[in-house]
Structure formats: structure tokens, C-alpha cells
A and B are shown apart, each in its own frame.
Chain A
């Protein structure tokens, strides 16, 4: 797994902040005497600054307050708006009203940069996540079946903010042990049934703390047997024995199978067992396809409404099955999906909503925002491995540098999603409480907005006679390269506010994916 930066150009572009922010679009006239944010200028260009401003800048002189560079797009209600008022529009208008002061930097005495943005309040968010790791008071009893999620959300959020979480290894091991069932898989806690969602979060938490002791907690054989019992004849997975079958199940199964390198054979106990013709991955992509809706988005189960969280599950699942450049267009209507995903972004808020005519919510920064790296890979926009760069498997144009407004999302996250009180943490939207779930997924969204992913491998050739891949988890080993995303205009946030990148499909850093995979790889038996 290669992680590299694009060399000098990148580094420079990432650090340098334009001294006089370039005027954008039909932005309000900026104050010509606005002075640069000196804090943001590094030593490297200090002399430069002296030269430019030495004559005009004097600390004693009273300087007019610089007008922050906030494009009108994020300061005004949308241009086209209907008069008809319904419940939906009422809520939408209220949300815009709530967000606008935050977007305009008028919500409090926060220190803002030239672009009108506050800093990422790392210290408070780190403290918030550490507190969320417990012990938790009694009112959290409603989360009793979701405790493994807290492990993943907190450790993942901390990791993205640059914290070293390996010190939690022992406690993750101890906690995970009580959640594992003898019949395979992890439940929400002692005496709770194994569930794919809780298993997913425990495994990712284990991968995040890393180390053989931690990996060894997982009963791989039990896991395989249990997964077999969840596999359904239509290709999907139930989330637990007797539980619902939905697209989360398909995504999580793909994550578990590829991270633990499980054998694909089905046990005779599996509801999908057909004498050895089908395996754990058979029909899974078809199941994903059946969840695409007429709107182009993806629903939890066939015939439901398109929803952002399931779009991520669908794309990430497919990306683990085969090279996204081939598998995504083979199973999904890409133009409709791109359209639907693009429409999830709202202005002036800048954030994403989860469904048509629903409100923005910080967590979709990941669920929807996290779809774009996978889509961009599918559209082969930046594939250095591909010779024919402009030609994609879909016959569609290569994606431009970015399909959505990264600026909009970053603005929403930094202004609206941060709880600036003592509490810290990130949230759905202003006036909502921060929580571990939103803190993690808002940071994941921020991470994907700040980075660019490049799929460095071409699809492996299909075997003879195949039109679509046979689902052998070929995509799980796709080589992804990551670079800091460099805006052609200006970088609106401080470079130190860049959080760490995470794997587009596994949602944890590549290093951790590589660590757990290396440990389990080739253990096809259960020694």
C-alpha cells in the first residue's frame, strides 16, 4: 500500500496561504486594505511578507477589520425558491436560518481566518471522544446494544485527529472479548447476539489499535461459520440471526471477509448453500444492484427510498469486490447515481442531506461525501495506472478534479458542525448536541474533502467467458494512493487543520488496513 505525497508542489501549495485572497465569483467586494492572516504564514515566506507589507503594515496603526472572504453562495438563500410552504420547506427554511449566522462567522467571538472560517478545535474534540470512551452515565443505557460503535467512532475520530490510540490496545482487547460469542461474531455486549454492525465496529476498533494480541482476539473460524449462516440465497446478508437483510449486511460482510481473509466456501448450514456452486460473495453485487432506486440513489433494501448512508455501503461494498472502475459501472447506473449524490449538497449550507427534500446533517459528510472518492475512481479521472486516461469503462467522461463543492462541505463542517462550547465534539447541525457518531463521521467527511484518492491499478483481466467479475474480492487489494487535495483557487482552511486520510472503502487508515490484512492473509485454514 503506497502512501505518497505529490512532492514539492503539493507541499508548497498545502502550506502557502495566498496573502491577498483572490476574489471569487460574484463575491462581495473585499476590503482592499484587508491584511493577511499573519498567523497562517510560515517562516518560509516571512521575508516575502516583510517586503510586501513592510511599508504599509504597522502594528500601531488601527487597521480596518478585514472582510472575511465568504462567497455569496454561502451567505444567501438559494436563487430559485418556491413560495409554497409545507412542512418540508418550513424545516428547510429554519435550518438555513440557523446555519447562516454560523456560515457568515457571526455566531460568536471566534477567531476566524481570512476566509471567515474558525479553526478545527482539535483539543476539545479529542477530549470529547476520550470522554465518550467511558465510563458512561446511566442515561446511555439506550446505547447498550451499540457500545462497539463507540469504540470505533472514538478510536477512528482520535486517529484522524492524529492521536495515537495504541494505548487503548489492552482495553479494546478486554472489551472485545466480552462481546464475542462462541458461535462466532461480536454482539453489543455480554450476552447479546452477534450482529454484523457490532462485529464491523469491533473489528475496525481492533484494526485501529493494531497488534497481534488484538488481532488474535478474533475467532476467525467462528466468524466464517457465523457469516455463512447469515448469507441468503438472494446474495445479501442478514444482519444477525433472524434479523433483517439489508445493504449494510452486504457491505459489512465484504469488509469482514476481505480484512480477515476468510475462506469463501459456504458451510452446509448456510441458507445459501447449494452444493458448492455458490460462495459467500455470490450474488452480493446483484443484491447491491437491486437496491438502486429510480432516483439513482441507493436504498437499504430493494424498493425503498434512496438514502445517503446506503449509497456509501453500496459503493464501498462493490469497491471491495472488484476494481471500482469495472465493478461499479457493471452493476449501477452511474450517471443517475452521480446526479443523485450531487444533489445531496445544499447551498447555502454547503453540507449534504441524506435524501431528497431532507435536511443537511453533518454525518452525511461521510456517507455521501465518502462516495465521491469511490466514484471518482470509478470514473477513472486520475488513474495513473491507466494509459487511456480520458477513457473510462463507462464510456462517460472522466470526473473533473472534484465532483462536488469541497469548499462548501468544509465550510459547513468548520462553521456549523463544531460544538464550540466546553463540551466539544462535532454534530449534525447547529443547535444539535454533539455525539461520538457525528464526531467521527463529520471528521471522516472532512478527511475525504481534504484529500484526493487515486486508484493505481487497472482491473485484472477477467477469466475467459466472463462478462462480469466472479466476485472473488479482487477489489480489496486495489492500490489506492492518497494526496492532500489542492484547490486551484485557495485553500480556505489552515494546513494544520487537515485531518488524516482514511481508506475510501474501509474507513480506517490504510496502514491499519494493511496491518490486519497482513496478519490474516494466507491463513486460509484455521490454524
Chain B
């Protein structure tokens, strides 16, 4: 190990170690002016090393004892060490108690020795190895700043100074904002304090710098809101939850911050543009947040903002969140609010209806059976009175043409045709007959369903539709017997002969036979369904068969009763 003799050091000192640290006990200062060659063979590379180094330089006796042990030191060094210890032990005491503790004579001797050794009175404290970190603290990654290289540390210090300077300026700015609010008059200029646009802009820049520095230095993420001038006056309400709460989510910092501001503004029932922006911010992170959506609507209504603009914004959000349903209730609220303003203007109403339909067509092309979209659509038809709108029916037909199995489209058609308040009896159940429904309408719809059935006979949608239409129109199911029988060939005439192209046809055929009192035929249909064509529903077909015998019994009983009465 090459000793790194810097100054006037005595080469022997290094060579004679470990016996003594100082060859000249009379002048141990020489040691302090040099680095301790034995223990510090090289330039410190880290901050920690440098402080160790400095410690040893300021406390030569202690350093020597640590290295060699007290007993190996020369008498003079031992004395120097004792004085040094006493001095540092009593260092923190007030002068008066110090002298009381040691007595004037002892004090004097200590000081004499100290002066004689030229020792440094203000030595550094020692860092114990057991301590996890040095007094330098940790950085954003949890690393000990003490392990930094000197250059890196200096860099860091510069940044800290810059941050402090920014914080001071920022505090001045905030004070001025406060003063402006209170109408404070500046004593020197005699004018009211005014925060100019430029100052605000400067502060914005300052805050983003501060946030960047804080993040760099301490890994502290200053949320967008906390560093924003706009949210200056709001005291956020942080998420409160006890330790060990169930299903607790490790919220991303940005979300947690936004929510704490939301709680604050909601509790004050604030409605403002910034609240609107806050809701947008949260929705972007969690679109399934019903509270935020309702609060957003409340803001829009309170501020009297443009509904069409909001709807335009909503279209984007809806396309990005296809499975979300809060969006659709929000839209519902918007339209409820908007409707009265256009209700008396047929052109505006028609235009709005068209716009809405265009968007609905667009979103349904992405997700053809989206339940929430269809729910909204049926509500909209009622709200805007789109019953007679040919385009509505046409666009449903387009969807059915694209996918004849789209049951949502079939359901909407049923609603469109049979809930039209122009002729539908209000309060009629969907599976009930409505006397006001015309034969013409029933024929048209039955024909439509039948045409679509031919495309794919096992597709249940048109079968359900047709049956629904017949019931609505109060028509016998038997009126479509011919059509139904097209799909069932030679039933019960042997495995080879029998052909069923649609189990739904067979099901309806059973109903038709039952309706006509031809229970045996009905039973055959149901039996064949259970045995062969639709075995998964065996239990259901069995029940249907029981219902047949039952209704037959009821009929019998009733006939008997009637006969009995007649006889009486």
C-alpha cells in the first residue's frame, strides 16, 4: 500500500504502525494534518468515505485507538485520547456545568493538553456500522446517499439548493395570491396586491420544475393537482381506510390524488369547470366509477354547459369503453336534460334523433349485442318519439340482415312495432294479447319472421319473434301450422324417415297440436324432442308432456261439470 503522503508527514509514522499513530507525541497534529495512511490508503471515493476520512482527521486519537487499541498507544497519545474524549463528552454541556463536572483544574489541564496537541476541538461524530444509513439519508430508489460519489453528491446538493430556491419563490407567490384574495394593500407601493398572468405562468413553470426535482431527489411524486395553481385552495381528503381493510387496492398515485381532491370538492358541493376536468381525469383512469359520472352530470347541469358538446366528448369515451354502462346512464341523463330545450322544435328533434342513431349504429357495429347500448336505444325511441321514424326500423333490418341471429336487434324490433303508443295499449304485458294491434301489422311481422326463418331454421330469434307476434295479435298459433310443418318431416315414422330441420319448429308444433286439442300428436313432438332432437331439455319436455295430460284432465273435468249442471 503506497502511503499517500501529502503534506509534511513523517514517513516513519506510516512505517512504524501499528505501535503508535504518532511518532512524535508532542506533536500529534502532524497526523491530523495528514490522512491516516494506514487506514485511509486512498482518496475517498464516496461521501461516506469522505466523512469517515474527515472524522479520522478531526479525531486523530480516537481514530488511532480504533485502529490499534488503547493499550498500544503511547502514553502521550493515551493522554491526548482521554482529553479528547472528555472534551467531546462534555461538549454539549453548557460551559458552567462543564466546569462543575470536571472542576477548574481538570478543565485547565484538558485544554492545555488539547492546545498542546493542536487537536481540533470540533471533531465529527462517528457513524456506527449498525446504523442502516448515514445522516445523508436515502434517495428515490432507497439507496444510501452516503454511497454516492463525491461528484454525484455535489450534483445532488446543487439540485437541492435549486429546489429550496424554487420553494422560497413559490411561497412568495402563494402569499401574494392570499393577499390578493384579501385585498391586501402593499405598504410600499400603496397599491392592492395583484397576481398577474405572467406571475401565474411563472409559478406554473416553477411548480413543474419543483415536481421534477422532488421526483428526482426523493422519488416523491407530486400529483398533477397538488402542484397545480388551480387547485391551490383545496385541501384534499385522503383515502381513509383502516389497516387490513378487505379488497384494498394499491391505488396508483395519480388516481389516489385525484380521488382525494374529488372527495374534497364533492363534500363542498362545488360545481365548476375545474371539477368537470377532474371528473374527466378520473374517468380516464376508471370509467366504471358511478359516483364520478353522477357528479359530472351535476356539474354540467349546474354550470349550464352545452349538452351537444358533452355528448360529443362522450362518444369518444364510449368507443374506448365498450363494456361500460355508466356512460349510457350519463347519456340518458344528458338527453333527459336536453330534451325540453328541443321538444317544441320538430326539426331540431329530428336532427338530434338522427345524430344519436348515427352514433348508435357506429357503436353497435363494434359490439352488436351490447346490452347497455340497446337499453339506451329503446329508451331513446320512447323519449324522442322515434316510433314512426322509418330509418329506425330500417337500421334494425340492416343489423338483422348482417346477422340474422342478432337477438338484440329482434328484441328492439318487437319493441318498436308493438310498443308504439299510437296503437299499443299501455300497461299490457309483453306476453299478453293487445286488441289494438291490427291484423295487417301481425301479418306483416309474421311474414318478416318467416322469411328470416328460412335463412337458418334452427335460429331461435325469428321463432320467438313470430310466436310473440301471434300472441300479441291474439292469433291462434295454428294459423302458422303449415309453415311450421315445413321443418318437420315424417315425425314418428321411424329413425330413417324422420327429419327435423328445426327443434323450435317441433316445439311450436307441439303447442299448435295442444291448442287444437290433439294431445297425442303434441305428445309425440315433445317425446321426440326429449328422445332425440333436443335431449338437453329432457326435463322440460317431460314437464310439457305432463302439462298436456293435465290440461286434458282439466278440460274433461270442466266438461263433466257442465254436463252435470245441464243434467241438473
A contact residues vs B (CB 8 Å cutoff): 25, 73, 79-84, 86-89, 132-138, 140-147, 150-151, 154, 168, 171-172, 174-175, 177-178, 187-193, 195, 240-244, 289-290, 292-296, 299-301, 303-307, 333, 335-336, 338-339, 342-343, 345-347, 350, 355-358, 379, 390, 395-405, 408
B246 contacts A145, C-beta separation under 8 Å: no
B291 contacts A405, C-beta separation under 8 Å: no
Alpha-carbon distance A348/B411, docked complex (angstroms): 26
**Chain A's nearest CB lies how many Å from the CB of B378?**
5
Alpha-carbon distance A151/B245, docked complex (angstroms): 10
A87 contacts B368, C-beta separation under 8 Å: yes
Kindly list 4 other residue pairs between chains A and B, CB separation below 8 angstroms, not including A138-B252, A338-B540, A397-B543. Answer: A144-B289, A154-B246, A190-B240, A399-B543
A295 contacts B468, C-beta separation under 8 Å: yes
Alpha-carbon distance A346/B543, docked complex (angstroms): 18
Give residues 365-392 of B contacting A (CB, 8 Å).
368-369, 371, 374-375, 378-379, 382
Residues of A within 8 A of B502 (CB): 80
Task: Determine whether B259 belongs to the interface, using a CB cutoff of 8 Å to chain A.
Answer: yes
A141 contacts B460, C-beta separation under 8 Å: no
Partner of A188, one of B285, B291, B501: B291
Residues of B within 8 A of A144 (CB): 249, 251, 255, 286, 288-289
A357 contacts B456, C-beta separation under 8 Å: no
Partner of A193, one of B247, B294, B375, B549: B294
**Chain A's nearest CB lies how many Å from the CB of B150?**
38
B250 contacts A138, C-beta separation under 8 Å: yes
B374 contacts A305, C-beta separation under 8 Å: yes
A145 contacts B430, C-beta separation under 8 Å: no
Alpha-carbon distance A339/B504, docked complex (angstroms): 11
A404 contacts B537, C-beta separation under 8 Å: yes
A405 contacts B246, C-beta separation under 8 Å: no
A191 contacts B263, C-beta separation under 8 Å: yes
Alpha-carbon distance A192/B408, docked complex (angstroms): 33
B249 contacts A193, C-beta separation under 8 Å: no
A175 contacts B291, C-beta separation under 8 Å: no
Task: Determine whether B532 belongs to the interface, using a CB cutoff of 8 Å to chain A.
Answer: yes
Partner of A303, one of B242, B333, B382: B382
**Chain A's nearest CB lies how many Å from the CB of B151?**
36
Alpha-carbon distance A175/B547, docked complex (angstroms): 51
Partner of A142, one of B237, B286, B468: B286
Q: Which of A241, A305, A307, A395 has the most CB of B within 10 A?
A: A305
Alpha-carbon distance A398/B546, docked complex (angstroms): 8
With both beta carbons as reference points, the residue of chain A lying nearest to B245 in the complex is identified as: A175
Count of A-B contacts judged by CB separation below 8 Å: 263
Task: Determine whether B440 belongs to the interface, using a CB cutoff of 8 Å to chain A.
Answer: no
Partner of A405, one of B255, B404, B455, B536: B536
Given contacts A135-B250, A404-B537, A404-B540, contact A307 B371 (CB under 8 A): yes
A350 contacts B375, C-beta separation under 8 Å: no
Given contacts A79-B532, A191-B266, A397-B549, contact A357 B406 (CB under 8 A): yes
Residues of B within 8 A of A145 (CB): 286, 288-291
Task: Determine whether B554 belongs to the interface, using a CB cutoff of 8 Å to chain A.
Answer: yes
A304 contacts B378, C-beta separation under 8 Å: yes
- Mask: chain B, 271-312; 1 = CB below 8 Å from A; 0 = not: 000000000000001111111001001100000000000000
Task: Determine whether B207 belongs to the interface, using a CB cutoff of 8 Å to chain A.
Answer: no
- Mask: chain B, 80-101; 1 = CB below 8 Å from A; 0 = not: 0000000000000000000000
- Mask: chain B, 420-438; 1 = CB below 8 Å from A; 0 = not: 0000000001111000000
Alpha-carbon distance A397/B543, docked complex (angstroms): 7
Can you identify 13 A-B contacts, CB atoms within 8 angstroms? A134-B247, A134-B248, A138-B250, A174-B242, A191-B291, A192-B290, A243-B294, A290-B429, A303-B379, A303-B415, A305-B407, A342-B537, A357-B460
With both beta carbons as reference points, the residue of chain B lying nearest to A347 in the complex is identified as: B536
Given contacts A79-B532, A338-B543, A357-B407, contact A175 B468 (CB under 8 A): no
**Chain A's nearest CB lies how many Å from the CB of B240?**
5
Task: Determine whether B34 belongs to the interface, using a CB cutoff of 8 Å to chain A.
Answer: no
A178 contacts B242, C-beta separation under 8 Å: yes
A397 contacts B546, C-beta separation under 8 Å: yes
Partner of A292, one of B371, B430, B543: B430
Alpha-carbon distance A456/B26, docked complex (angstroms): 107
With both beta carbons as reference points, the residue of chain A lying nearest to B328 in the complex is identified as: A244
B543 contacts A400, C-beta separation under 8 Å: yes
Residues of A within 8 A of B405 (CB): 86-89, 357
A190 contacts B239, C-beta separation under 8 Å: yes
Task: Determine whether B332 belongs to the interface, using a CB cutoff of 8 Å to chain A.
Answer: yes
With both beta carbons as reference points, the residue of chain B lying nearest to A155 in the complex is identified as: B246
B contact residues vs A (CB 8 Å cutoff): 237, 239-242, 244-252, 255, 259, 262-263, 266-267, 285-291, 294, 297-298, 329, 332-333, 368-369, 371, 374-375, 378-379, 382, 402-408, 411-412, 414-415, 418-419, 429-432, 455-461, 464-465, 467-468, 471-472, 500-503, 507, 532-540, 542-543, 546-547, 549-551, 554
B291 contacts A171, C-beta separation under 8 Å: no
Alpha-carbon distance A145/B289, docked complex (angstroms): 6
With both beta carbons as reference points, the residue of chain A lying nearest to B401 in the complex is identified as: A86
Given contacts A175-B245, A242-B297, contact A73 B536 (CB under 8 A): yes
Alpha-carbon distance A345/B244, docked complex (angstroms): 41
**Chain B's nearest CB lies how many Å from the CB of A142?**
5
A339 contacts B242, C-beta separation under 8 Å: no
A336 contacts B431, C-beta separation under 8 Å: yes
A339 contacts B540, C-beta separation under 8 Å: yes
Residues of B within 8 A of A301 (CB): 375, 379
Residues of B within 8 A of A178 (CB): 240-242, 245
Alpha-carbon distance A144/B414, docked complex (angstroms): 38
Q: Which of B371, B459, B500, B551 has the most CB of A within 10 A?
A: B371
**Chain B's nearest CB lies how many Å from the CB of A133?**
5
B332 contacts A244, C-beta separation under 8 Å: yes
Alpha-carbon distance A191/B431, docked complex (angstroms): 43
Given contacts A243-B329, A301-B375, contact A171 B244 (CB under 8 A): yes
A405 contacts B247, C-beta separation under 8 Å: no
B503 contacts A80, C-beta separation under 8 Å: yes
Residues of A within 8 A of B501 (CB): 80
Given contacts A178-B240, A402-B539, contact A357 B461 (CB under 8 A): yes
Residues of B within 8 A of A306 (CB): 411
Partner of B459, one of A134, A141, A346, A357: A357
Alpha-carbon distance A47/B534, docked complex (angstroms): 42
With both beta carbons as reference points, the residue of chain B lying nearest to A398 in the complex is identified as: B546
Given contacts A137-B250, A151-B246, contact A25 B294 (CB under 8 A): no
B239 contacts A358, C-beta separation under 8 Å: no
Residues of B within 8 A of A402 (CB): 539
A138 contacts B460, C-beta separation under 8 Å: no
Alpha-carbon distance A229/B255, docked complex (angstroms): 31
Alpha-carbon distance A150/B464, docked complex (angstroms): 37
Residues of B within 8 A of A240 (CB): 290, 294
With both beta carbons as reference points, the residue of chain B lying nearest to A194 in the complex is identified as: B291
Residues of A within 8 A of B404 (CB): 84, 86
Partner of B246, one of A83, A84, A150: A150
A168 contacts B246, C-beta separation under 8 Å: yes
**Chain A's nearest CB lies how many Å from the CB of B481?**
19
Residues of B within 8 A of A138 (CB): 249-252, 255
Alpha-carbon distance A89/B460, docked complex (angstroms): 12
With both beta carbons as reference points, the residue of chain B lying nearest to A197 in the complex is identified as: B290
Alpha-carbon distance A144/B455, docked complex (angstroms): 46
Given contacts A88-B405, A295-B411, A343-B460, contact A136 B539 (CB under 8 A): no
**Chain B's nearest CB lies how many Å from the CB of A168?**
7
Alpha-carbon distance A84/B456, docked complex (angstroms): 6
**Chain A's nearest CB lies how many Å from the CB of B399?**
11
Alpha-carbon distance A405/B540, docked complex (angstroms): 9
Given contacts A82-B458, A192-B291, A347-B535, contact A141 B542 (CB under 8 A): no
Alpha-carbon distance A311/B550, docked complex (angstroms): 26
Alpha-carbon distance A402/B414, docked complex (angstroms): 32
Alpha-carbon distance A244/B297, docked complex (angstroms): 13
